[in-house]
Amino acid sequence: MSSTLLSDAIAFHDDLLQQGDLARRTHELLQRTAREKGITYGGRGLNHVLRPFFVTPEQHQEIRRGAHAVCQTLEELAARAARDPAFLASLAPQGWEEMLLPVDGLRPDPAVVGRLDGFLGPDGVIRFIEYNPDPGGPINSHHLGQAFDVAPVMEAFGRRYEVTRPATAPNLLRSLGALQAKGGRSGLPTLAVFGPASPDDADEEVAYQQYLEAHGVRQRIVTSEDDWTYAGGVLRVGDFPVDVVTYISSVGFGGFVVGCGPDHPVTRALTDGAARFLNGLFRAVILRTKALFAVMSRMADEGALDAERGALLKRHLPWTRLVREEHTSRDGASVDLVPWIAEHREHLVLKPVNEFGGSGVTLGWQTDADTWKATLQRALEEAWVVQERVPMQPQAFPVFDGSGVRHQSLNSDMNPFLWENGRQEGFFVRQSASSMLNLAQGGSLTTLAVVRAR
């Protein structure tokens, strides 16, 4: 589908909203679903637009190819970090990686779910800026997508355009089944979750629990490190047998790392392979670091990958480097990195390597020279990356204001989910009037739909 046809589809959809009470009924359905399904963040509703983010089939396929190539490279680098102490040290580790490595770092369990975060630029190309190895979003995206599927405006829209919405939550069940099969067991695993949830995580955690339980995944929330036993090759919480261990939030993860030493039942069960950690314990810690994007960017620039994958990474990754005193390549030329960063803030982002949720991210084009200089000094003293600015393309989305439809200019990101063996399906799409789209900083959600003319 050409960009002209995509523009026509958007115009047709938004024109439909002016007919009768389609806008009001669509708005009411979406808001009712958000309340009933818990599509909220800290009690705040997460959807207010009346249109999905539309992409063409060609865009969809290119995004999937790019995401798979990036995911494949990340997995190879995580495996290298487990085998190569010098490489691990180059990633600015936080200190607990060596403790986690013998637990499951050398066992290649399939990932259950991950997410690449990126933006579609004005040229229609997606560029991925980071990877989340334990992402939120698949359940909220699923419920919101289902509501759009039956929205009155989409019913009318579907008479002229064929609409496909890539699935999210059903893939979670498929990937959990694949993890269970890897351990020689059938069906879906039982799940023990280190808690408690933080206030910001609580809403989606309820949605997670309800969805998984409705589909046969039995769970227990655990808030004490003393509730576990491991005997006869079975990990238990009380009398509940546990196949897979995970955590709700950074609070839960911290409780695991601090409270479960090498002799703890959970650690022994994970080390023996009697239970699995969702998405891998060592793997998730390694893949969270933004330093890997600096590694991949340098590999693509230096021709360290095969031609096809190197081309995909150069197309879909922004130029990224660890902040340090060095000369490096930029657009084929050698630059003195730190002075160059200081002089080009309008085109750059500085990010802490190991933070998440947008914490510490400094956008050069929204920062004065003095603040940029101070942040750059901090980046030199700590572990940060510098990344090329990925231009966003604001788009006018229809919203219902109680009396009628108006359009609001919103930035959107596009974040593909990746499942077992790097399989890509489904998206998490955040929106905001500002350049920071994280839900913790006020972002909202829509769904993604692939459209083609009938």
DSSP 176-192: HHHHHHHTT--SPPPEE
Q: Cα(132)–Cα(101) distance, rounded to whole angstroms?
A: 19
Q: Which two tokens stand for residue 130?
A: 């980071």
Q: Are residues 194 and 221 in the same domain?
A: yes
Q: Are residues 356 and 338 in the same domain?
A: yes
Contacts of 347 (CB under 8 A, 6+ apart): 364, 365, 388, 389
Q: What is the number of domains present in the chain?
A: 2
Q: Cα(414)–Cα(416) distance, rounded to whole angstroms?
A: 7
Q: Are residues 449 and 353 in the same domain?
A: no
On whether residue 45 sits in a domain, the answer given is yes
pLDDT band (50, 70, 90) for residue 108: confident
Instruction: Provide, rounded to the nearest whole percent, the portion of the chain with pLDDT above 70.
Output: 96
Q: Are residues 284 and 325 in the same domain?
A: no
Q: Which of 388, 407, 422 is the last residue of a domain?
A: 388
Q: Are residues 280 and 338 in the same domain?
A: no
Q: Cα(389)–Cα(83) distance, rounded to whole angstroms?
A: 33
- At residue 252, the pLDDT reads 60
- At residue 1, the pLDDT reads 44
The yes-or-no verdict on residue 3 having pLDDT over 90 is: no
Q: How far apart are the first and last CA of the chain?
A: 11
What's the DSSP call for residue 248? S
- At residue 254, the pLDDT reads 67
Q: Which of 277-281, 335-339, 369-373 has the lowest mean pLDDT?
A: 277-281
Q: Are residues 335 and 206 in the same domain?
A: no
pLDDT band (50, 70, 90) for residue 42: confident
Q: Are residues 356 and 427 in the same domain?
A: no
The yes-or-no verdict on residue 68 having pLDDT over 70 is: yes
Q: Which domain holds residue 139?
A: 3-288+394-453
DSSP 50-87: SS-EEE-HHHHHHHHHHHHHHHHHHHHHHHHHHH-HHH
pLDDT band (50, 70, 90) for residue 110: confident
- At residue 14, the pLDDT reads 98
On whether residue 295 sits in a domain, the answer given is no
Mean pLDDT of 210-236: 93
Q: Which of 388, 417, 437 is the last residue of a domain?
A: 388
**Where residue 378 sits, what CATH number does that domain have?**
3.30.1490
- At residue 251, the pLDDT reads 60
Residue range 309-363, pLDDT digits in tens? 999 999 999 999 999 999 999 998 999 999 999 999 999 999 999 887 678 899 9
Residue type at 413?
A: D
Closest listed residue to residue 184, CA positions, set 134, 119, 233? 233
Q: Which of 119-128, 248-257, 377-386 has the lowest mean pLDDT?
A: 248-257
Q: Cα(452)–Cα(55) distance, rounded to whole angstroms?
A: 9
Q: Are residues 23 and 164 in the same domain?
A: yes
Mean pLDDT of 148-167: 97
Q: Which of 338, 371, 388 is the last residue of a domain?
A: 388
